[in-house]
Structure formats: structure tokens, C-alpha cells
Amino acid sequence: MASRIATHEVLNQSPPYEDVDLFASDTPLQEAVRANGVDEAAALSEFGRHWGAADMFHQARLANQNEPKLETFDAKGFRRDIVEFHPAYHAFMAESVGAGLHVMTWNRAGSPAGPPSEVARAARYYMVAQVENGHMCPITMTRASVGALNVEPKVLARLMPKIFSRQYDARFLPWWEKSGITLGMGMTEKQGGTDVRANSTRAEPAGGDYRITGHKWFMSAPMCDVFLVLAQAPGGLTCFAMPRFTPDGNVNGLRLQRLKDKLGNRSNASSEVEFVDAFAWRVGEEGRGVRTIIEMVQLTRLDCAIASAGLMRMALAQAVHHTRHRTVFQKRLADQPMMRALTADMALELEGTVALVMRLARAFDLAPRDRNEAARARLLTPAVKYWICKTAPAFIYEAMECLGGNGYVEEGMLARLYREAPVNAIWEGSGNVMCLDVVRALGREADETRGVLAALACADLPGMRDAAALVAATLAAPDAESHARAAVEQLAVMAAAAALAESAPAQIAELFATTRLPRRRGATYGTAHLDGDAMSLLLSRALAG
């Protein structure tokens, strides 16, 4: 593509990667979705074209360049405690709420919608994550909150009709006056995020409900209408639903102190908040706060993994697209042997990643009626979150380098993807905490979770049995915590290989297993020793067209 400007012709730059079909161009995604029970290729392709439009990419840039602003006071000194977002952020919220990403896995009453809603949503979520991530935070929290609200039918029945709506209503009004609402959550305090039992925020019973005083050090998407928060009630740490307005229509006592100045996730606001005698409903019994909120946390962890996989996908698509159009030393980059080895190895990693997240979403679909699938979701969710969210930053960085200097500048998308990636590992249980959770699951729910390991080992792939034996032995040893990272990574890789065996051509699953079980690659991509045919296959599957 050449364009004449005053001093020279612009040559050898790749055309923008936009106006693409994020579904039809992605063979591994299509296969993983189909294998996990979703047969709606035409609808997903329409969704993929819509989200892959040039204007969506443009709006995503605007939403992230124009960060949300906290309006603590008005001009006369009255408290406002609101956050103003760029219109592009609201446009994305309207899109995702309109598509039902905040609720499509639930029915009107708040029970699971049933298969294949988790996979159908995961496929869409994966595509949205390729374009704009900040707004997905409240989308994720809203859908996940229903899991926790299920323990308190009265509160669920009150809020569910508004959650179920597919209309995004950004107005700062009491929840019952709005056409649709979103939910956030606040657990992390200054003295502890992992150790929520150390929460100092207090809840006092008041006329059947509660009044809460204290703080949260991180509370994202503070313009949500209701927040699930943890606080110390007389009976111990308890979960509460705290609306932005009290039942008499006054603004509730949530004082937004400051917005975090974050590495990435810029379109989304993350606040520090103080609760001043704030009204709240109890959700679940007093003293059962962690047990209650964990219903939400498993779902948000799944979304962290899908979102990171989506970031990886966009990074790889940009890299493969660029190398197909850029010539260096009289040869397309895509034909340079080392670049082929690099992008093919990355494509193979993503094959395993997308198969894995879709298979995990399937486990969530089947869990309510199938104990084995419930155990699979229980054991693998922290392992998958750990592996994918940890893999994403290095993967995106490698993709960035494929674009050379263009990868590093803000007009391109790679810089934003790179800054976005670490947050998924940090929130909702940081890396070590995910590994501890796997160790806990294998200890406390030993029969079920060992059954998952045994089932994975049965996949007819090289290295699986040895890997499963090693994982089981390591995680059962008295010093399991010290070696948990290696074992949990291996567990996730095994699960990815097994997922590929169910969804991808046998050759792909074999390639994945032989290059990764045990790890035969170096620390960077492009070191997997793939032969020329394998590279061609992987690269043609990675980006159609």
C-alpha cells in the first residue's frame, strides 16, 4: 500500500487491522465454541463483525485516552461523589449490556440459564475483550454478583428484574427508578485484600437492615448501582448489598475519596471509598461472608481468564496481520523462518488457551447437574486463571515486538493491551493465592478433584500420565506450597492439552502436548521446535484471510 505525501511515498506499512470478523477469522475459537455445545456460528460471526469494525477500535482508543473523572463536590461545595466517563465508555456499556453479557447466564429469576449459555457468553466476552477491556469490569461483576445474591432470595427478587434488563441506564438515580442496573463489589481494604478476614469495616444492625462504617481501598466501577461488600457484623465477617441510594431516595453514605491512577484499565474507574453510616441489606448469614462472596469470585475468575485470552488473541492477530504485510530484506516478515517459528509457537499457545477457557466455561454450564464437572470447575478455575493471566503479559509483549517500533506507540493497540494485561492476574486472587486455592481444593475436596486429574490423564496425548502423576504428588506433599507454582502451571497446561483433544484436530493437540508436557521450550516464544508443516498449519488457522 503506497500513499504520496509532500516529501516521500509511504511504503511497506501494514494496513490497519480493522473491519474484521473476530469470529470467522479465528478457526480455534470456532472449533472450541462448537465442541463445547454452541452452534450459532452466524450470530457469533455477526457479533464478531460488529465488534471488529473500525469505529469500535476508534471508540476504544477514545474511552482509554479520556479517563474518568471524579466529581467529589459541586461548585457550591455540596458533595456529589460521582464519576464522569467519556461517551465512548457509555457506548461500550450500552453495547455489552444490550448483548446481555452481564446476565445471559441467568434466567429471569436468577437461576442458571443452563447450557450452553456460559460458552455462548464466553465466546462473546472473548471477542469484546479484544477491543475494550475497562468497561468489562462492571459487566463481569454484575453477572457474577447474581451468584452471591442467590443465597438471599429477598434481595435477589428485589434487584433481579433490574439486573435482567438489557438497557444500560447511566443516570445517577435510585436503582428502582432506572431501566437497568449494574453491580460492583468491595472487599479489599488498606490492610488486606487477600486476607479479607482482616476487614475492619463494621456493620451494625438497624431496623432489620444494617448501617456500615469503614472503607474499601479498591472499589472499581463506582457508578454501579449496588455493591456487594464485606463487613464485620456482630456475628462475624458478612456479605452485604449496599445501594448508592437509601430506600427513602437519598444518596447513600458512599464517599468516593479518590480514583486510582492505574497502569492500564484506564477507561474504567477504580475508587477508594469511605462508608459513612451507609445503608445495606445483609446477603447470607452473619459470619458467612467469605462463603457467600466466593460464589461471585469463581465467576469473576473465569472472566479474568477469558479476558486475558482475548487480549492475547488481539495481540496475535495484530502480529500475524502485520508480518503478512511487512517486507524486510526483500522477504515478507511472515516468510522469514524465525518470525514464522515465533508466531507459530504463539499461535499454538493461543490454541491451548482458547480451547481451555471454552472447556472451562462448559464445566460451569454443566456443574449444576454434574458433580464431575462441578469438581472440574472448582479445581481448574484457579489454575486456569493463574496460567492464562500470567502468560498474557509476556505473550503480548512478544506480539508487540513483531510490529517493531510501531508496536510500542500509543496509536497502535499493542501498548494498551500490554498495560491492560497484568490486572487480571492481580485482582480476584493474585497468582500465589490461585495456587494456594488449587492446593486447598486437592486437600479438602480430595476425591472429586483427584477424579479431575485422573480424567485429564486419560486424554490420549504424550506426557499426560507423567504430568498428572507429578502434579498429584507435588500438590499432596507436605511442602506443596513451596512447589505449587510449577505444579499448577503444569495442571493448567494438561487441561489445555485435554481441551484441545476435545475440540481441535488431533495434530494440534499432539503438537501442544509434545512441546509443553513436560516443558520442552525455552523461556520465550519461538523456541518450540515446530517443523515447517506444523508452522504453516498453525499460522493458517490463527488468522484466516
Ligand X SMILES: Cc1cc2nc3c(=O)[nH]c(=O)nc-3n(C[C@H](O)[C@H](O)[C@H](O)COP(=O)(O)OP(=O)(O)OC[C@H]3O[C@@H](n4cnc5c(N)ncnc54)[C@H](O)[C@@H]3O)c2cc1C
| Among 34-42, 88-96, 178-186, 366-374, the segment contacting ligand X (CB under 6 A) | 178-186
CB atoms within 10 A of CB 519: 15
Cβ at position 262, least distance to ligand X in Å? 5
Task: Report if residue 265 touches ligand X, rule: CB under 6 A.
Answer: yes
Residue closer to ligand X (CB basis): 425 or 535: 425
Nearest-approach distance from CB 463 to ligand X, in angstroms: 28
Query: In sequence order, what are the beta bridge partners of 186?
Result: 229
Residues 95 and 169: their CA atoms lie apart, in Å, by: 12
Q: What is the SS3 assignment for 10?
A: strand
| Range 423-452, binding ligand X (CB under 6 A) | 423, 426-428, 430-433, 436
Nearer to ligand X, 431 or 505 (CB): 431
Binding-site member from 219, 309, 341, 496 for ligand X (CB under 6 A): 219
Total binding residues for ligand X by CB under 6 A? 24
Peptide bond into 518 cis (omega under 30): yes
Q: Which stretch binds ligand X (CB under 6 A): 144-152, 201-209, 213-221, 404-412?
A: 213-221
| Choice from 61, 158, 262, 291 touching ligand X (CB under 6 A) | 262
Q: How far, in Å, CA of 323 to CA of 319, rounded?
A: 6
C-alpha cell at 207: 431496623
Of 398 and 437, CB closest to ligand X? 437
Residue 434: CB minimum distance to ligand X, A: 8
3-state secondary structure of 323: helix
Residue from 28, 115, 193, 412 in contact with ligand X (CB under 6 A) = 193
Buried b / exposed e along 485-504 (16+ C-beta atoms within 10 A): eebbbbbbbbbbbbbbbbbb
The residue nearest ligand X at its CB is: 193
Q: Min. distance of Cβ 109 from ligand X in angstroms?
A: 26
Which of residues 270, 318, 474, 515 is near ligand X by CB under 6 A?
Answer: 270
Q: In the bound complex, what is the minimum distance in angstroms from residue 440's beta carbon to ligand X?
A: 11
In the bound complex, what is the minimum distance in angstroms from residue 442's beta carbon to ligand X?
Answer: 16
Q: Which stretch binds ligand X (CB under 6 A): 68-76, 88-96, 262-270, 337-345?
A: 262-270
Q: How far apart are CA 483 and CA 495, in angstroms?
A: 19
CB of 189 to ligand X, least distance (A): 8
Distances (CA, A) of 143 to 93, 125, 238, 270: 13, 12, 20, 18
Q: What is the DSSP letter of 286?
A: T
- Of the listed pieces 72-80, 185-193, 273-281, 353-361, which binds ligand X according to CB under 6 A? 185-193
Number of other residues whose CB lies within 10 A of the CB of residue 144? 26
Strands 209-220 and 270-283, sheet pairing: antiparallel
User: Nearer to ligand X by C-beta: 21 or 420?
Assistant: 420
Per DSSP, 334 falls in state: G
523 CB burial (10 A radius; 0-12, 13-18, 19+): exposed
Q: Is 185 in the site for ligand X (CB under 6 A)?
A: yes
Per-residue contact track with ligand X, 136 to 175, x per CB under 6 A? ----------------------------------------
- Distance set, CA 49 to CA 95, 166, 243, 406 (Å): 14, 21, 37, 25
387-426 footprint of ligand X as x/- string (CB under 6 A):
------------------------------------x--x
How far are the Cα atoms of 16, 87, 416, 512, 530 from residue 411, in angstroms, in the given order?
Answer: 11, 20, 9, 34, 33
- State the minimum distance, in angstroms, from the CB of residue 127 to ligand X: 22
Which C-beta is closer to ligand X: that of 383 or that of 535? Answer: 383
Residue 135, all three cell numbers: 468497561
Which one, of 62, 183, 32, 69, lies nearest residue 131 by Cα?
Answer: 62
The C-alpha atoms of residue 192 and residue 94 are separated, in whole angstroms, by 34
Among residues 29, 104, 146, 187, the one that binds ligand X under rule CB under 6 A: 187
Closer Cβ to ligand X, 41 or 196, answer by number: 196
What distance in Å separates the CA atoms of residue 257 and residue 478, rounded to the nearest whole number?
Answer: 45
Residues in contact with ligand X by CB under 6 A are 184-188, 192-195, 218-220, 262, 265, 270, 423, 426-428, 430-433, 436
